[in-house]
Structure 1
Amino acid sequence: MKSILSLVLLSSLAGVSLGRRPRCRCRPDEPCWPSSADWQALNASIGGALEAVRPVGYVCHDPTYNNASCVSVAKSFTDSAWRASQPGAVQWQNWEALPFRGETCYLESPRDEPCGQGRVSLYSARVRSAADVQVAVRFAKESNVRLAIKSSGHDFVGRSSAPGSLQLLMGRLKNITFYDDYTVRGKCGKPVSLGPAVRVGSGVFLKELYDAVGERNLTVVAGLSHTVAAAGGYVQGGGHSPLGTWKGMAADNVLEFEVVTADGALITANQYQYPDLFWALRGGGGGTFGAVISATLRTFADVPGTRALLYVQTTKGPNSSDSDPVNAALDHFFWQVAEQFHRILPALNDAGGAGYYDVNPDIVQVNGSRVSTLDAALHFYDTVDVQRVMDLAASLAQLGQRANTTGGNPDFYFGVDTFRSTRDLIREYLPGHSDSTGGFVVLGSRLLSRSLLASADGPRRTVEAIRALRSGIKGHVVAGGQVAATAGTSASLNPAWRKTLTHIVIGRTWQATTSVAEQKAIQEDITKRQVPLLKALEPRGGMGAYVNEADAHEVGFQESFWGANYGRLYRLKQRWDPDGLFTVRLGVGSEDWDEFGFCRIR
């Protein structure tokens, strides 16, 4: 095991020393920090799976520069599967660094720039079994060490990393087991049949799960990403899916969890055993109530379907003015299409439509021209009724017929095709083995209700808000249908999902060279301007945001992420984890701790 001498954090980390209130976690510069012998004993107890951790970019900086290693890191740097496997990386670099403290280790930075530890854990336990997880959890609890859980590191609010922490790296838990009829013990020990299912370890990626179920002509409710971990924060945060309208949220389709709790116990939670914990894990947020070892998910027979595709593009010439009559007409046409698309969404969703769309206005091209695009793909599962979908979208087709009368020759396409199976559809959306990650990304989001878009002025107001954002959005039509029909289910995800029609996400990026002040300005624009524009659409509608794709500085996150469920979730957090061992950013109970989860503030 590598020496920890170079990994010691200075006392600059925020917090209050032990022995005073509020109580704090041990830090490496304090006497309470585990000794080298303690870490070696932990390493031995989990079969040599413990290692000291540095950020992945450290081999590209002096004094630890290594040319061959740096070249190797650079080749894999944007590969999400590689990033998932590295203890010193998560999927987005901004959650590896602490730039306001000068602790960065960017691959893009000069070789002679010092490499700081940032948010990267000091040690990682590459666990291979539930027993390993139990040992590591007990060690963290008894040693009062900050704990962080990483399944694959796909997280937009920073829950997978924590400075000065021991990391549980769950990627080796890759077991996949199928059941023709999954049975649990019901009341009085009587067997209860729950139907076909698959149990997945917490290191199984969505693409791996899709491949496994597809080989058996089955499908499962999951998202569209290669390396998101199915049993990790994805399903524990609710888990939206392109199959959601047809079969509900991912959390609605969990039958059971295996979880290691804060006292190191391995328990099975389902609707009959520990039902309160089962409820909390179905939407209460990843890494919050325990370390999930596996999740058992419903499977369904694979089905064919229909897909509706819409594409609109307008182009303004270089150096042309918005006041130019042709450009004004193009703008009018583009936003007219966007409004009409949102106006017919309720009917399309009622017919089973689910999928995604992007609205990207005025994107500046290399030649100086400005392009606006609206691109949508909606899927209708277990149906190949092409004419029905065409009839529903007739108003869009009429807009396309009038497109050339606008001037400026906008591009317009609307069409329908079919797919033989969800397996074929997933393969089309998820080619290869990984996603492209490794950049700097922050999000903002809002759930918009069906009632808003079904109202007379809702589509107009929605498009006006999108236009005022002055940036693109991605819409996720992943609710309605069975998501709405399961209102009142025993899942703790935000109740607003049961009223949702579209989940709108704003994304902003920057570069390694972007100053701390500019980064702060980008984040504040999302938090203080963009998210409020969307929130104002339904200020009294009881809507919120999706915990897995949200503003990292969400104001009033408790209500935004969990609505009326938060009170019960908080009480369960105190019951199952009274010492806050599983504290994560913007997680249930995190308001009791400082930003880094080191010291209690109340």
Structure 2
Amino acid sequence: MVFQLFHSFYRRLLTMSFRYQVSLLSLLVLSAAVAVRNLGPNATTTHCRSVPHDASWPSQSDWDSLNHTVGGKLIATVPIAAACHNSLFSQSNLSRFNQPDCDALRNVWYYPETHLPSSSSPMAYTFSNNSCNPWLDPASPCTLGFHVAFSVNATSTSDFQAAIKFTREHNVRLAIRNTGHDYLGKSTGAHALSIWTHYMKSMNFIKAYQSTNYTGPAVKLSAGVESIEAYSFAHSHGVMLVGGNCPTVGLAGGYTQGGGHGPLASKYGLSADQVLEWEVVTGTGELLIATQNQNSDLFWALRGGGGGTYGVVSSVTVKAFSDTFFSTAYLTILNNGTNADDLYHAVGLFIQTLPSLVDAGVYVVWVAAPFGFMLMPAIVPGLHSAGLDEMMQPLLDDISHIGLDYQYSSSEHPSFLTAYNSLTSSWNVSDYNIGGRLIPRSLVDTDSDALLEAIRYISSRTLMSGVTFNLNNGVSSADEVGANPYLRKSLFSVTVGTLINYTDWNANRAAQDMITYDLLPKLQAITPNGGVYLNEADFQAPDFKETFYGDHYQRLLQIKDKYDPDDIFYAQTAVGSDRWKENLDGRLCRV
């Protein structure tokens, strides 16, 4: 999400009309999409999910029946870039080619608002498998590729149950999607039926939630609620919520289920730490309420143990906190081509200031790249800007003493919402391949030189960011929630990005490999037995069980097997995912 902050200078463009044609086109091509089931021999085995060319793939009447069950809310996928291609699903008579619409789509491709109205478009380009790429020649094919085949536009738990029942009966892969914000491909899946929760938007303020462990204000959020919607609703009731950086990230889904850090993390901990109650449909189709005292093991697992694997969450109830004033600060030091040594010396000094900042409740987002260094921003609740300036002044004095030119500014805001709205107005989501690593606080004390050397190696080649926090204020023990315990000893999470190449698939894969096999190993070497923040990690990581989940993995796996005994839920790098393998054609098979 930090790379979205970096792209705040992009101008938002008006949404093109094409996106509104997609739902209508879906209805027209539903029969054609189902018809491809007869294009090849039956390749299904008992240990693989069915795909469209199998005889076992659901028939037209099967899909019609599901559509009837969910009240006409079944959507056949049409990739949103169909306007950029001469044919659709290899059929020229279905062509939606329109160059002006294609040009408009390209202009706004990188923004979440382009993908949010779609039930299928993954914001992380890699997980489309280069199918229906808007940047290729119109003669290139527009196919489903690794998009989901169908989606249920779910608005109730009964829709969840109908979709789960259908996938169980027909051996079809299941995916779960709200906004499509996901860097690891969890919100899509080749040949899958998707449960799309985006329009589940109800919010309820609870003035005095009462449980054995908490009494106070809370907010209940349905599965489709986005950060900015939740923040605005909370603001109207004089409270604030722990949520993410990007305004269009869904709070109840993979964000909170993956831990969830954001502007209030150094003050209150992870989003997962705030959860009081989940409403969830399990792999057997059972609707459960999970709290500290009811289905407590599921409650624990969903609090940071990863999304898309234990059940489908329909709502989450979280703690709310009294609103207060905020301060923010920004710092920029540019690389002018001759000052690199001094610049990285300043970065090293900046790293040394981070422990005192986060201990004061400051959440610090920074970027290092070939262009230089940016603090963007430091944000803190309940501290006046003069106080934040005072904390930053020793660093600024050191930078001046070195002789570097810099720009620094700070400001004060009367509430969380006003501070948040000041951060950025445009959020890029589709420019980078990513990977990540957690940096323990102890490393700054014991080997800061090695850390700075690794930062310089990576950031002189590509973009890297650090999101800095103290996550020990949300829970009494790292084992209180399912999130990776390593987060509690971490000072910041590094995210490394290489630019996506939309016109050269092989070059794009090489760029991801650069992260896996060249850049991240520099950090791994100085953080042995370390960890990652699973929402912003490398999907190719060979040791994901240890680095994503730490000592909690085996307990999480036992809980998954209890609530999803038939392994209905699969998501790449999720708990239990190593029992499955995705073939080159996207077919999901048991290992």
Provide TM-score, normalisation by structure 1.
0.87
SS in 1 for 2:518: helix
SS in 1 for 2:158: helix
Structure 1: any 5+ residue segments left out of the alignment? Answer: 187-191, 317-326, 364-371, 405-409
One of 408, 411, 421 as aligned partner of 1:417 = 411
- 1:481 deviates by 4.7
State whether structure 2 residue 98 is matched by structure 1 residue 108.
no
Tell me the residue number matched to 1:120: 147
Tell me the residue number matched to 2:582: 595
Percent same amino acid at aligned positions?
30
State whether structure 2 residue 442 is matched by structure 1 residue 448.
no
Within a 5 Å distance, the mapping from 1:334-373 to structure 2 comes to 334-361=343-370, 363=371, 372-373=372-373
Tell me the residue number matched to 2:473: 482
8 Å CA contact retained: 1:94, 1:440: no
State whether structure 2 residue 459 is matched by structure 1 residue 466.
no
Tell me the residue number matched to 1:145: 172
Deviations 1:360-394 (A, max 9, x none): 23x3xxxxxxxx2333422232222734x445434
Tell me the residue number matched to 1:65: 96
RMSD of aligned alpha carbons: 2.4
8 Å CA contact retained: 1:176, 1:199: yes
Quickly say closer, same or farther: Cα 1:51–1:391, change in 2 above 3 A.
Answer: closer
Equivalent-residue separation in structure 2 for 1:534 and 1:212 (angstroms): 40
Tell me the residue number matched to 2:7: none
Tell me the residue number matched to 2:22: none
Tell me the residue number matched to 1:368: none
Tell me the residue number matched to 1:395: 394
Equivalent-residue separation in structure 1 for 2:405 and 2:472 (angstroms): 32
State whether structure 2 residue 514 is matched by structure 1 residue 525.
yes
8 Å CA contact retained: 1:448, 1:501: yes
- Tell which structure's C-alpha radius of gyration is larger: 1
SS in 1 for 2:365: strand
One of 247, 250, 255 as aligned partner of 2:268 = 247
- 1:70 deviates by 4.5
8 Å CA contact retained: 2:243, 2:261: yes
Tell me the residue number matched to 1:369: none
Tell me the residue number matched to 1:367: none
State whether structure 2 residue 61 is matched by structure 1 residue 37.
yes
- 1:459 deviates by 2.3
Within a 5 Å distance, the mapping from 1:192-231 to structure 2 comes to 194-231=215-252
8 Å CA contact retained: 1:442, 1:552: no
Deviations 1:230-286 (A, max 9, x none): 101000000011201101100000111111111111111111110000111111111
- 1:425 deviates by 0.8
Which range moved further: 63-72 or 591-600? 63-72
Within a 5 Å distance, the mapping from 1:181-200 to structure 2 comes to 181-183=208-210, 194-200=215-221
Which range moved further: 162-171 or 374-383? 374-383
Aligned residue type for 1:88: S
Quickly say closer, same or farther: Cα 1:250–1:498, change in 2 above 3 A.
Answer: same
Tell me the residue number matched to 1:386: 386
Provide TM-score, normalisation by structure 2.
0.88
Tell me the residue number matched to 2:374: 374
State whether structure 2 residue 557 is matched by structure 1 residue 581.
no
8 Å CA contact retained: 1:305, 1:420: yes
8 Å CA contact retained: 1:479, 1:500: yes
Aligned residue type for 1:17: T
Aligned residue type for 1:412: Y
- 1:518 deviates by 1.3
- 1:301 deviates by 0.6
Quickly say closer, same or farther: Cα 1:84–1:60, change in 2 above 3 A.
Answer: same
8 Å CA contact retained: 2:43, 2:54: no
Deviations 1:393-429 (A, max 9, x none): 343122233244xxxxx42234543322212111112
Equivalent-residue separation in structure 1 for 2:267 and 2:238 (angstroms): 17
Equivalent-residue separation in structure 2 for 1:436 and 1:359 (angstroms): 17
Quickly say closer, same or farther: Cα 1:38–1:268, change in 2 above 3 A.
Answer: same
8 Å CA contact retained: 2:85, 2:96: yes
8 Å CA contact retained: 1:350, 1:480: no
Structure 2: any 5+ residue segments left out of the alignment? Answer: 1-26, 87-91
Quickly say closer, same or farther: Cα 1:591–1:269, change in 2 above 3 A.
Answer: same
Quickly say closer, same or farther: Cα 1:545–1:9, change in 2 above 3 A.
Answer: farther
8 Å CA contact retained: 2:277, 2:299: yes
Aligned residues: 552
One of 160, 171, 175 as aligned partner of 2:187 = 160
Tell me the residue number matched to 1:331: 340
Equivalent-residue separation in structure 2 for 1:580 and 1:41 (angstroms): 24
Equivalent-residue separation in structure 2 for 1:30 and 1:289 (angstroms): 28
Tell me the residue number matched to 2:503: 513
Quickly say closer, same or farther: Cα 1:226–1:11, change in 2 above 3 A.
Answer: farther
Equivalent-residue separation in structure 2 for 1:72 and 1:139 (angstroms): 37
Within a 5 Å distance, the mapping from 1:178-327 to structure 2 comes to 178-183=205-210, 194-316=215-337, 327=338
Which range moved further: 410-419 or 70-79? 70-79
Tell me the residue number matched to 2:10: none
Equivalent-residue separation in structure 2 for 1:145 and 1:413 (angstroms): 55
Quickly say closer, same or farther: Cα 1:12–1:399, change in 2 above 3 A.
Answer: farther
Tell me the residue number matched to 2:11: none
Quickly say closer, same or farther: Cα 1:486–1:454, change in 2 above 3 A.
Answer: farther
Tell me the residue number matched to 2:89: none
